[in-house]
Structure 1
């Protein structure tokens, strides 16, 4: 190997070592942040929900349980009876919310926290899981399956433990039925298949997250406890105000669609079905429809919705296809690529423009339906100046038509050649610097 080759090889090895060192540094920083967060403990209910949602998405984590962990309780088989499942669930909850919390407190992990966590009483957990004597039929029913239950009900500690027990039983039944059908789809008692990852619309998954979050919030003194409905909104990042506004606007749009359909029916010929836009019976469409504003504050008459008449069409609106836009630029220095990026796509919001000269020559087209030869042919015109384009090019007084079939958009442009600008380089000459940046 030559000296130059050895130097290059050593340089590559050194670069790889530096890269690995940077990755190790980033990993150490993330671990440090995670440790600091664990030492201070969760501070909000939202943090608990997202934490448990992530945990559920990763699976049970049985394969990753370390030897000696208090939470590493063996999972029962799907063939275990109900009483064994309840016992294992009670052991798991006791390990998580009593043994593990006491262990962390003994290690002085939460000495710097604003609130020191308080472990749950094992007796309360075992009672809620219906383990031991004195268990009644009413106690074995999770709160979500009790008569008169509503999603807005807030569960107490025993209700949460009972709900988690119900989730374990439902999951065991789902996996047992899947095993009985030789690996069929796993479905829970709520009728939906058990998802591989967290799904806020799956009842069992959401019940697990809501109940677990409330138990954790009790341990860490986070008030108030949240209902299933509130937990679902947090887990799915649902903002009720936006959802309600979208529903109101969608309803108003449908009402205006009814006005248009009614107008068409009133003006349609009974024999041919053709619509007469000037029909006397239906009147003008502009008189039928309304713009409706949704106000933040109610009007003096107490209205939140304010209807107004439709304005007259804008004669300069190119979307209405009734206007010709005038473009002034240096046709000798501007290329087709610059014209497409700066004017058609950036200013006029075209996505897949098709450019046709006033003479009928097609000089550029975009779209998924084009084959490779057509794409290569049109790409050859991109670096050309506007005046050098095929078909005579675009010069002072020339015009072209631009269409976008995907948006049903069409506009006609008239070009004026201009070399000098009152604004100097800031108005047009500065485009070269922006080109280099792009």
Structure 2
């Protein structure tokens, strides 16, 4: 609605101020000028005392702005990318053929309220027909007033001018009606019109210019984007070097960014336990920023949200991932995600991980992207830790078993080569000993 009010203020300047200063003004010598320019331009010899002529002029302005120009642009397919097709406003279809009577009734109502010291229904949203009569009436009243004529060609919009504010409200609402935008009351329009600061629009235009210059550098492709482009910060005041614009190097790509880093996102999750609702709420909406997801496994759509969504698919929300249609979501399954509300598309490659692998202190029983590598590293560290503890336990058991034995150092055995005589003597002695034993028995 803000743009409609800005447009209405420019329309006010085109009709009552310096036409060349209005953003709607076009060179009359231009062959391809807008339809409304000829209808908005007053003839120098127009009789401003003839109310009928003024009404015809005002009706022509209305037709040029809200009917003929819109139809021309529709034929040129100017609005082919618009979400909703603009609808031209036909004067006779809105207020009937007796437009003069409708304007007269409106003027009488305004005069009656003014005489009683009351402000008209400034909190109510006017109907389209009321906006039409007020739009035409404001033009007629401004041009027919001797006080206003003295300032024609130099008028500037003033929100405290009742007629000017009435005109801007009516024109903005008519413009909004054409483009299917919610209409506002005079009170709301006055608040918006009073807060439109030209300096902000100028700053926005400067920033847009810098964006175009950066776009040229990207299209030239002379250097990598990281070298060719920089962040440009617009300061509120001059810095120490007398600069308002301060460039800085672009940040390096974030490998943890799920949206822009890859078209395929890796997800580790327990497919035997997680429900589709958990995938939608915890992963897609909370982590990936998807608003209205459409989830597909191969050619099968298992869930979708948004306009014209198949509501019967909502039954899948309470199913486990492995139990979903299309063979379910299992280890190494690729799932397609689309969000038409923000033109977002990606694939999710799912890896099965038991919930126990996430640890007892885990707040989320899934891992995305780089978190999967971290999860694997943590699991490896945990496995090494468990292996070390097991090895230490086995070593301690071996030490306990050794307590039942006494370690004896081996003795050195000296072997001497004996002579033949010595051997024979030993044999004789042995025989003698044996005979002694027999005698004793």
TM-score, normalised with respect to structure 2: 0.39
Q: Which has the larger radius of gyration?
A: 2
TM-score, normalised with respect to structure 1: 0.39
